[in-house]
């Protein structure tokens, strides 16, 4: 082989990876949470934090000395340092769960409290290191992390355009051998605080599960704070006004536990006020049969009476009260009353293992057992029926709940 051919071959060996790399698409922008989600210090009041912690692990009753020498509750410490550093308390709560599972652990160790946010504890650091020991303790962890994020990382981004690790919105970086591009400041901050993919994926799951849950239409939620029951309907939360309405509309459908704080992000819709199959009369004398949220007019008194209805069965309502409800077809004298599955019903075809939840008039396939159990459902609540009954509902998006890794730490 002559020198020219050898040079061409060597040049090709070096150029080929460059050409391939040049043809590859850049990695997509990653946004773990929004900048507002990280810095919205008014997202939770002190009372909100107390209520949130009360129904979970031991932090609801935990008290310790704060960094100013005053004994405070965990909620007060979180609230204080969130306000002083203009950070969202929700952000700090999700970090606490991600780092040491501390929010939901029913019996945490002292070490979990001492290193609650993993602050100053790098992968190779020792708790006995004199550079690390000043940050030992629950309050020192909260303060150290909050101050570093606000006065360190966010200030560095404002002044230098990047954090001390070189992470910045729009700048290519490598995390755990994977190229990533942070899409905003909050994402650059999270990868600087924890330079690992898995830990930050867990953070996103926790934050989404607690503060931006994806409940399918038809989900019933009961707030632990006051016992109120809510229906998720078209991405709105609708309060169910009475137990009579609840049982007439939803029977024994399971309810998931939540808090008023977690419900806050859902816009409020009209209350669910009347039981299913109520007879409602408007000021103009028109009478309607209520089926779920659909009003079906009864065309005449003759049809009304032929169906066995009586005047005592009718509730007088204002036109504004029923204005948000849909309008359906008229009820006929020889008609069987409409049947079908209520929103939130679990159904499946006999002999087929696939299970669906009725949501927004579609059937959403429940992707796996973990999703099924995490929603609080029981296997005996599934209605097994014919293919005709199930396939009558168009197939919607699959329902999958991503659960965080139960292992503590990162």
We report the CATH number of the domain holding residue 366 as 3.30.2390
Q: Which domain holds residue 157?
A: 29-210
The pLDDT value recorded for residue 178 is 93
Least trusted range by pLDDT, from 71-75, 295-299, 307-311: 307-311
60 and 124 together in one domain: yes
| Residue 217 belongs to a domain | no
Choose the final residue of a domain: 265, 295, 327: 327
191 and 48 together in one domain: yes
CA distance 167 to 182: 8
CA distance 300 to 355: 42
CA distance 266 to 236: 6
| Residue 245 belongs to a domain | no
202 and 298 together in one domain: no
Mean pLDDT of 291-306: 86
The residue among 77 and 19 whose pLDDT is bigger is 77
| Residue 258 belongs to a domain | no
Choose the final residue of a domain: 176, 210, 244: 210
Q: Where are the alpha helices (DSSP H) in 218-317?
A: 243-250, 260-263, 301-306
The residue among 143 and 126 whose pLDDT is bigger is 143
Strand 287-291 versus strand 294-297 pairing type: antiparallel
Q: What is the pLDDT of residues 334-366, one digit of tens each?
A: 654 334 576 788 888 888 899 999 887 789 999
Check whether 8 has a pLDDT greater than 60: no
Q: Is residue 174 left, alpha or beta, with left meaning phi > 0 and alpha meaning psi from -120 to 50? A: beta
Check whether 55 has a pLDDT greater than 60: yes
Q: Kindly give, in sequence order, each residue whose CB lies less than 8 Å from that of residue 327, ignoring residues fewer than 6 positions away.
A: 294, 295, 296, 297
395 and 322 together in one domain: no
Q: What is the pLDDT of residues 184-233, one digit of tens each?
A: 999 999 999 999 999 999 998 899 888 877 788 888 988 876 788 999 88
Q: What is the pLDDT of residues 144-198, one digit of tens each?
A: 999 999 999 999 999 999 999 999 999 999 999 999 999 999 999 999 999 999 9
33 and 182 together in one domain: yes
309 and 173 together in one domain: no
The pLDDT value recorded for residue 17 is 46
50 and 190 together in one domain: yes
| Residue 255 belongs to a domain | no
The pLDDT value recorded for residue 117 is 95
The pLDDT value recorded for residue 127 is 63
Calculate the average pLDDT of the chain. 83
197 and 301 together in one domain: no
Count of CB atoms situated within 10 Å of the CB of 10: 10
| Residue 292 belongs to a domain | yes
305 and 176 together in one domain: no
The pLDDT value recorded for residue 190 is 97
Residue with tokens 């950070």: 87
The answer to whether the beta carbons of residues 356 and 398 sit under 8 Å apart is: no
Q: Decide: residue 26, CB within 10 A, 0-12 exposed, 13-18 middle, 19+ buried.
A: exposed
296 and 365 together in one domain: no
What residue ranges in 197-309 does DSSP mark as E strands?
220-223, 229-233, 236-239, 255-258, 279-281, 287-291, 294-297
Burial of 228-256, coded b for 16+ CB within 10 Å and e otherwise, reads: ebbbbbeeebbbbeeeebbeebbeebebb
| Residue 185 belongs to a domain | yes
348 and 305 together in one domain: no
238 vs 222, 289, 377, CA distance in Å? 12, 21, 21
Mean pLDDT of 85-106: 95
Count of CB atoms situated within 10 Å of the CB of 360: 16
| Residue 102 belongs to a domain | yes
The pLDDT value recorded for residue 334 is 67
Count of CB atoms situated within 10 Å of the CB of 30: 19
Choose the final residue of a domain: 305, 327, 349: 327
| Residue 296 belongs to a domain | yes
- When mean pLDDT is compared over 62-76, 260-274, 292-306, the highest value belongs to 62-76
Based on the structure, what is the number of domains in the chain?
A: 3
283 and 399 together in one domain: no
């Amino acid at each position: 082989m002559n020198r020219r051919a050898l040079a061409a071959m060597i040049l090709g060996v070096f150029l080929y990876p460059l050409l391939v790399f040049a043809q590859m698409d850049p990695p997509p922008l990653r946004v773990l949470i929004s900048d507002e989600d990280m810095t919205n210090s008014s997202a939770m009041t002190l009372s909100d934090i107390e209520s949130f912690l009360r129904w979970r692990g031991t932090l609801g009753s935990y008290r310790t000395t704060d960094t100013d020498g005053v004994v405070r509750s965990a909620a007060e410490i979180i609230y204080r340092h969130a306000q002083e550093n203009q950070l969202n308390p929700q952000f700090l709560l999700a970090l606490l769960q991600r780092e040491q599972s501390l929010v939901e652990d029913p019996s945490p160790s002292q070490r979990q409290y001492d290193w609650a946010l993993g602050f100053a504890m790098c992968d190779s650091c020792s708790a006995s290191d004199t550079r690390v020991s000043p940050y030992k303790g629950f309050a020192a962890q909260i303060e150290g992390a909050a101050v570093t994020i606000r006065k360190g990382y966010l200030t560095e981004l404002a002044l230098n355009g990047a954090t001390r690790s070189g992470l910045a919105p729009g700048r290519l970086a490598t995390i755990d051998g994977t190229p990533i591009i942070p899409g905003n400041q909050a994402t650059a901050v999270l990868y600087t605080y924890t330079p690992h993919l898995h830990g930050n994926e867990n953070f996103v799951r926790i934050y989404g599960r607690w503060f931006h849950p994806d409940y399918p239409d038809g989900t019933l939620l009961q707030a632990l704070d006051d016992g109120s029951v809510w229906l998720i309907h078209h991405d709105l939360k609708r309060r169910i006004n009475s137990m009579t309405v609840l049982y007439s509309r939803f029977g024994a459908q399971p309810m998931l536990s939540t808090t008023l704080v977690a419900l806050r992000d859902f816009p409020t819709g009209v209350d669910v006020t009347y039981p299913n199959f109520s007879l409602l009369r408007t000021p103009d004398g028109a009478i309607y049969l209520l089926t779920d949220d659909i009003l079906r007019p009864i065309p005449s008194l003759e049809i009304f009476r032929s169906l066995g209805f009586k005047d005592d069965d009718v509730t007088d309502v204002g036109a504004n009260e029923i204005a948000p409800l849909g309008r359906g077809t008229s009820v006929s004298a020889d008609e069987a009353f409409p049947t079908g599955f209520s929103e939130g019903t679990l159904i499946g075809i006999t002999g087929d293992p696939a299970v669906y939840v009725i949501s927004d008039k579609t059937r959403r396939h429940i992707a796996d057992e973990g999703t099924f159990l995490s929603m609080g459902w029981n296997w005996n609540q599934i209605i097994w029926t014919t293919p005709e009954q199930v396939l009558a509902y168009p197939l919607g998006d699959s329902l999958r709940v991503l659960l965080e890794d139960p292992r503590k730490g990162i």
